Amino acid sequence: MKNLFTASVLALCAATAAKAEGQLNLYVWAESFSPELIEKFSKEHDVKVNVDGYTSNEDLLTKLQAGSSGYDISTPSQHFLRIMIDEGLIQNYEASKLKAYELIDPRWKNQWWDETQSYSIPVAYGTAGFAVNTNEYTGPLDSLSYFFEPEAPLAGKIAMLSYPDEVVGAAQLYLGVPFCSEDSDEMKKVYDLLAAQKPSVAAYSSDNIASRLASGEVAAHFWWDGEELKARVNGAPFAYALPKEGLVGWIDSMVIPNGAPNYENAIKFIEFMSEPENATEQMNYYAHSSPMTLVADKVVYTREKAPELYPEVPVEFSRTCSPAAQDLVNRVWTQLLQ
């Protein structure tokens, strides 16, 4: 029956899915890949590249679970990559046999999200935390308490993401509750914290963050390090908090979904993106850290220029929660926004 479901979805998609040779369909974080690099790849390999973007891991997971997506490359974060491997949604492309594998910084090789490094080659990593508009807030940034238990001028001018994923993680860091806790008393504390914060929250939204923060509509926004950095170097009055309780870490990797129509091109693209020159250019575009070997003197975002990429506070990477732990996260979120 599930096959029938997949088959009917497939049949409906068949008419539109691009199957012609010389194509590559990316479904990656919105605005994450350098358009110049994609153009360069497109020219070098005579491949037409189509790019679709998503703004949450959940969107990607749901799309892949719904059946053949027609995409060749996606970039899930580590905790979702693990689910996709376990649920059989992505292909084993023997990544460890690619040239790209040799270029991965040893720190990021064969981690728990892909122990044998068969399914993925990492492309970017970073953190999630709070960014502020320094025209609106000039106070200290060294603790999460300013955001979770805000006082004027931040009270009423904070925005959180619309998904629980990293927000609950940050609350857990603040409270010292372990990620993926299955203890409902501990998670009740997380709920209490977020519920007490709610009157001070202007919006729960993952869209349009840069302009919401830049306009001063909110003074602090839950965000990602690279996005804040990119806006800051372009002149926005932003700062990224490096709180002593820590930051929520993530690492995105290139995977090939099942049924990818252009497997060969996907492999070519992964190799292409991992060449040191291109990986450097990608990092300079995306403004998130690169887990690959770089051309050191071409890196724009050095430690001096981009302290947000080199946090000295603890970084705790999101984990793949058990269904029981995930249900507690959902209970927190649904009760929060009921």
Partner 1 sequence: MRRLTHNLPFWGLLPAWLLMGFALILPILIIAAVSLATRGSHGGFSWDFNLSGYSQILFNEGWSGELEFTPQYLLIIGRTYLLAGLTTLICLVFALPVAWYISRQSPGMRALLVYLVTLPFWVSMILRVYAWMIILGKDGPLPRFLENFGLAPGTSFMFNDGATLVAMVYTCMPLMVLPIYASIEKLDLTLIEASHDLHGNRLTTFRRVILPLTAPGIISGAILVFVPSLGAVLEPVLMGGGKQMMMGSLIQLQFGGGRNWPFGAAIAMVLMGLVMLLLIFTALRAARRQAGMEATA
Q: Mask: binding to partner 1, 217-236, rule CB under 8 A, as x and -?
A: x-------------------
> Does 203 interact with partner 1 (rule: CB under 8 A)?
yes
Distances (CA, A) of 42 to 28, 39, 277: 17, 5, 16
Q: Is 58 among the residues that bind partner 1 (CB under 8 A)?
A: yes
Does the protein bind partner 1 through residue 62 (CB under 8 A)? yes
CB atoms within 10 A of CB 165: 21
The token pair at 321 is 């929660």
Sign for the pseudo-dihedral over CA of 169, 173, 175, 181: positive
Q: Pick from 207, 258, 298, 302: which binds partner 1 (CB under 8 A)?
A: 207
User: Are the beta carbons of 123 and 210 closer than 8 angstroms?
Assistant: no
Does residue 201 belong to the site contacting partner 1 (CB under 8 A)? yes
Choices 16-24, 143-151, 180-188, 229-237; region in contact with partner 1 by CB under 8 A: 180-188
Output the smallest distance, CB 63 to partner 1, in A. Answer: 10
Q: Which of 35, 216, 258, 302 binds partner 1 (CB under 8 A)?
A: 216
Give phi and psi for 193, each to the nearest 5: -65, -50
- Residue nearer to partner 1 on the CB measure, 101 or 163: 163
283 binds partner 1 (CB under 8 A): no
**Least gap, CB of 59 to partner 1 (angstroms):** 6
CB of 334 to partner 1, least distance (A): 6
Give Dmax (Cα) for the chain: 58
CA dist., res. 274 & res. 235, Å (int): 30
**E strands, the chain, where?**
23-29, 48-54, 73-74, 121-133, 158-160, 201-204, 220-224, 238-240, 247-254, 315-317
- φ, ψ of residue 120 to 5 degrees: the values are -155, 150
User: Closest by alpha carbon to 282, among 101, 126, 120, 124?
Assistant: 124
**Smallest separation (angstroms) from partner 1 to the CB of 204:** 4
Positive/negative CA dihedral, 204, 210, 214, 220: positive
Residue at token pair 């939204």:
205
Looking at beta carbons only, is 96 or 205 nearer to partner 1? 205
Closest CB 87 distance from partner 1, rounded Å:
6
Judge residue 196's burial from the number of C-beta atoms within 10 Å of its C-beta, 0-12 exposed, 13-18 middle, 19 or more buried: exposed
280: tokens are 């450097």
Pick the binder of partner 1 from 1, 15, 20, 152 (CB under 8 A): 1
- Mask: binding to partner 1, 3-22, rule CB under 8 A, as x and -? --x--x--------------
Residue 52 touches partner 1, criterion: CB under 8 A:
no
* Joined tokens for residue 12: 């409906």
C-alpha distances in angstroms, 63 versus 120, 321, 327? 18, 20, 20
Does position 30 interact with partner 1 (CB under 8 A)? The reply is no
- Minimum CB distance to partner 1 smaller for 21 or for 58: 58
48 belongs to the binding site for partner 1 (CB under 8 A): no
Of 58-66, 99-107, 247-255, 283-291, the segment contacting partner 1 by CB under 8 A is 58-66
Which residues ranging from 131 to 170 are in contact with partner 1 (CB under 8 A)? 159, 162-165
Look up residue 96 and give its two tokens.
């460890």
Q: Half-sphere exposure (CA, 13 Å, Cβ side) for 111?
A: 24
CB of 337 to partner 1, least distance (A): 5
Using CB under 8 A, list all residues that contact partner 1. 1-2, 5, 8, 56, 58-59, 61-62, 65, 83, 86-87, 159, 162-165, 184-185, 187-188, 191, 198, 201-205, 207-208, 215-217, 322-323, 326-327, 329-331, 333-335, 337-338
